[in-house]
Amino acid sequence: MRIDLFEMERMQALYWHRVEYDLSESGVLPLTIRDLLGETQDPEDFVRTKLGYPLSEGSEVTRERIAQWYPGAGAENVTVVNGGSEANHLTLWALLEPGDRFAFMVPNYMQGWGLGRHYVGSTDVFRLKLREGRWILDREELERAVTGQTKVVMVCNPNNPTGHVLTEQEMSAIVDAARKVGAWLVADEIYRGAELDADEASPTFWGRYDKVVITSGLSKAFGMPGLRVGWTVAPREAIEDIWIRHDYTTLSPSMVSDNLAAIAMEPARREWILGRTRGITRAHWPLLDGWLRSHDGLFTYARPVAGAITYAEYDLPVGSRELIDRIREEQSVLLVPGDMFGLGKGIRFGFGFDIEHTMKGLARVDEVLRRMG
């Protein structure tokens, strides 16, 4: 079966390690195993981990602790997999069948878009739009995209690439649209917990409707992409369907990942990790904001609500791919073009890593912009 190239992932795979300034990352400075263990865990316990197979769904303790982050969920609602990307893939594989329709929020991490086209041939898009400094859900498009044939409605909240968090009214509109036609609602919440202003994680879709699947993991808000831990939280019938497929892909998480995930999701440790992430996003954002503002109205953007990313539309007579290629080729800076999120003239900027280095990269971007201006 045909599958489209996942363009952003391929671009990052090709270039992130070859450029001097990688500003294409969407996470935060990764934790070390030492940071994660903290003062109370004996590193020897970790070193003595027996590298056998863990339980296929993830250990009971890991699943229980993940479930605690989703009010009303229990360990039986959780399965642990290899990254948020495997969680998304197994979920859409389990839920979509030929002839179904798939409604997909854009902009988004475009894995769902590509998988939708793979499994059912097309995706029905509804959008967030940037209006007067805010991202807003286009409810008319939502109404049009979700029809009687829709089997799955998929959103990313907090959103990649905009950092938008859906308002209560927007969440309700999406739940109502799915409920009206009996569709599954799949919410990729991998940036939940990385809020810039709030001290609490943004609300989850879990518990708002009986056909909700949450996909998430430790790669973004938790700063541990190298651990490759993801999960789905779902009604047991959906977990069974996902598990069947997991047996055909990677069988289980790794023993090391499962053990470390249990530590990360212990409630006090979890809040410490998310506090660290929020500290990073809060300290870094004003610098990127200052840089964007210093361009005399060239960029239109909204302050991100969560996540170490923002998306800025620009007013220049050049397409986003061409601009991003130029910036990479001439200045060795990697950014992500709007095209790769289903948008047009815009750029996603990551600000969760070394901010001084990031600012130097942005000074290089200025060189390109100056020559174009």
Ligand X SMILES: Cc1ncc(COP(=O)(O)O)c(C=O)c1O
Answer for which of 6, 21, 109, 184 binds ligand X (CB under 6 A) is: 109
Sign of the CA dihedral running 68, 71, 72, 76: negative
Instruction: Report in angstroms how near the CB of residue 341 gets to ligand X at its nearest.
Output: 10
Q: How far apart (Å, rounded) are the C-alpha atoms in residues 158 and 304?
A: 9
Instruction: Report in angstroms how near the CB of residue 162 gets to ligand X at its nearest.
Output: 11
DSSP β-bridge partners for residue 126:
105
**Angle, vertex CA 222, rays to CA 216 and CA 224, nearest 5:** 95
Answer for which of 219, 232, 252, 277 binds ligand X (CB under 6 A) is: 219
Instruction: Report in angstroms how near the CB of residue 367 gets to ligand X at its nearest.
Output: 28
Task: Rank residues 277 and 331 by Cβ distance to ligand X and give the closer one.
Answer: 277
Task: Rank residues 125 and 190 by Cβ distance to ligand X and give the closer one.
Answer: 190
Print the binding letters for residues 228-257 with ligand X: x by CB under 6 A, - otherwise.
--x---------------------------
Task: Rank residues 57 and 331 by Cβ distance to ligand X and give the closer one.
Answer: 57
Backbone phi and psi for residue 240, each to the nearest 5 degrees, phi listed first: -60, -45
Contact positions with ligand X (CB under 6 A) in 254-273: none
Instruction: Report in angstroms how near the CB of residue 283 gets to ligand X at its nearest.
Output: 22
Instruction: Report in angstroms how near the CB of residue 369 gets to ligand X at its nearest.
Output: 26
| Cis, bond preceding 54 (omega within 30 deg of 0) | no
The amino acid present at 38, given as its one-letter code, is: G
Task: Rank residues 26 and 79 by Cβ distance to ligand X and give the closer one.
Answer: 26
Contact positions with ligand X (CB under 6 A) in 307-336: none
Closest CA to 345 of 319, 370, 366: 319
Instruction: Report in angstroms how near the CB of residue 190 gets to ligand X at its nearest.
Output: 4
Q: How far apart (Å, rounded) are the C-alpha atoms in residues 172 and 225?
A: 31
Instruction: Report in angstroms how near the CB of residue 222 gets to ligand X at its nearest.
Output: 10
Task: Rank residues 9 and 143 by Cβ distance to ligand X and give the closer one.
Answer: 9
Task: Rank residues 119 and 222 by Cβ distance to ligand X and give the closer one.
Answer: 222
Task: Rank residues 331 and 349 by Cβ distance to ligand X and give the closer one.
Answer: 349
Instruction: Report in angstroms how near the CB of residue 26 gets to ligand X at its nearest.
Output: 5
Instruction: Output 324-330 pairs: Cβ under 8 A, ≥24 positions apart.
Output: 326/368, 327/364, 327/365, 327/368, 328/15, 328/19, 330/367, 330/368
Which residue's CB comes closest to ligand X?
A: 83
Strands 78-81 and 230-233: antiparallel
Contact positions with ligand X (CB under 6 A) in 172-211: 188, 190
Contact positions with ligand X (CB under 6 A) in 112-171: 156, 160
Cα 275 versus chain centre, distance: 18
Q: Are 350 and 25 in contact (CB under 8 A)?
A: yes
Write out the two tokens for 98.
Answer: 């030929």
Q: Identify the helix (H) or strand (E) that includes residue 230.
A: strand 230-233
Task: Rank residues 217 and 331 by Cβ distance to ligand X and give the closer one.
Answer: 217
Answer for which of 114, 217, 223, 346 binds ligand X (CB under 6 A) is: 217
DSSP β-bridge partners for residue 78:
233
User: Which residues neighbour 111 within 8 Å (Cβ) at sequence distance 6 or greater?
Assistant: 6, 9, 85, 88, 89
DSSP β-bridge partners for residue 344:
none
Cα 142 versus chain centre, distance: 21
Instruction: Report in angstroms how near the CB of residue 350 gets to ligand X at its nearest.
Output: 10
Residue 26 makes contact with ligand X by CB under 6 A: yes
Task: Rank residues 171 and 190 by Cβ distance to ligand X and give the closer one.
Answer: 190
Total residues at interface with ligand X (CB under 6 A): 13
Task: Rank residues 29 and 369 by Cβ distance to ligand X and give the closer one.
Answer: 29
Q: Are 196 and 352 in contact (CB under 8 A)?
A: no
Contact positions with ligand X (CB under 6 A) in 63-102: 83-85
Instruction: Output 120-124 pairs: Cβ under 8 A, ≥24 positions apart.
Output: 120/96, 120/151, 124/150
Residues that bind ligand X (CB under 6 A): 26, 83-85, 109, 156, 160, 188, 190, 217, 219, 225, 230
